[in-house]
Amino acid sequence: MRMHPIAAGLLAVLTHQASLAADDPSKQPGYDAGYQAGYAAALKALAAQRSDDSNKTAPPTSPASTASQAAPAANSPDPTPKVQVGSDWWNHSSYLYPQRDSWRHHIEASYSGTWLDGNDSGRALRASGKVYSNYNAWNNELSLSVDNRNIQQVSGGGNVKDYEILQESVRYDLNPQWYLGGGYIYEVDDQNLITSRHTLLAGLGYYWIDQPGLRLDTYLALGRFRENYDDFVRTYVRLNSRDSNIVYAYQTLQWQINPSWSLREGFRLIQDQGESGRYVLASAATGLYKAAEYVKRYRYLASLSLNYQMSQNVMVSLGWEKRYDSNPWPDVLKSDITKRLSVQLQY
């Protein structure tokens, strides 16, 4: 192999320099200042030659790419998130996925065919929608559900009765397990002769399990509600409205069985702190009712659904739901059971 002239000269110099034993070359026998100047010149020429060769072979680098390598972009998201949750961030604590300094939203709309058992028998149609929003540790859920019931009542006769619920919920995740939550619920319940019910809540929740495929959480809150009644109650029970402090608790479980199938279970309990009358017929002639005793009413809602994800934006759900009221109006059963088949669109 033919050696470059500069490299050959430098090799000879280095060989001679290695033979010197002392650290100070000026004190070595035969020290030559001219030789040292030539040695320095050879080093400089070799460095220049190497720099020229590397410039010929290295690809050009743009100023933009050089700047991006030198200084990472400010406010860039964490490149190593704790867990990859996929697309269902709204079902989990904000600590499970990379938090963002901007709003993100998720929308769901569903339409259901419903079969009723209990106080009402027959079929109903349910339309509902939800909007989930997130900003860092702040989470918001706004939901609306409307049932239009063409029913046969247990007391006889058939008519149309509606149930409407509007719910606004705010959650702040304190850490991966604990969160603060509050909200407002507005309801219209024709079956229970309620023209409007307003409920305010504030409490504390805990994630027992929060993984990409499994979530279990509980929530305990204090609140207050006010119910306004329809003309029948105002006339024959002589009660216009009622309010009470409440203890409110719920538990939810969501299990992603596989990429297509999921299971969701929920339980909600509302315990009145104030007493309400248990009414009986006082006079058949007048049709008036009176309170035979006063009790602390409680209500619960239990639900279970099996869901199949047909595509990214379409899901089919088969659900079961039970509502229970420990102190209903006279001639009203304590429990109602609903079975439904739903089609849900999500974006």
Assigned domain for 104 exists: yes
Task: Residue 304: give the domain boundaries.
Answer: 89-346
pLDDT of residue 116: 64
**Confidence band for 156, pLDDT divided at 50, 70 and 90:** low
Q: Please tell me whether residues 214 and 259 are part of one structural domain.
A: yes
DSSP reduced 3-state for 305: strand
* Distances 202 to 34, 140, 168, 206, 217 between C-alpha atoms, Å: 90, 14, 12, 14, 16
**Confidence band for 291, pLDDT divided at 50, 70 and 90:** very high
Average pLDDT of the segment spanning 246-259: 95
Res 74 pLDDT > 50: no
Q: Please tell me whether residues 146 and 274 are part of one structural domain.
A: yes
Model confidence, pTM: 0.70
Assigned domain for 71 exists: no
Strands 104-117 and 241-256: unpaired
Res 298 pLDDT > 80: yes
Average pLDDT of the segment spanning 158-175: 87
Tokens of 44: 């400089």
pLDDT of residue 158: 54
pLDDT of residue 76: 40
The single-letter DSSP state of residue 164 is E
Average pLDDT of the segment spanning 108-126: 75
pLDDT of residue 330: 83
- Residue 307 makes CB contacts below 8 A (sequence gap 6+) with 261, 262, 263, 264, 315, 316, 317, 318, 344
Give the number of C-alpha atoms closer than 13 A to the C-alpha of residue 326, restricted to the C-beta side: 14
The number of domains in the chain is: 2
Assigned domain for 241 exists: yes
Buried b (16+ CB within 10 A) or exposed e, 112-132: bebebebbbeeebebebbbeb
Q: How many CB atoms lie within 10 A of CB 312?
A: 9
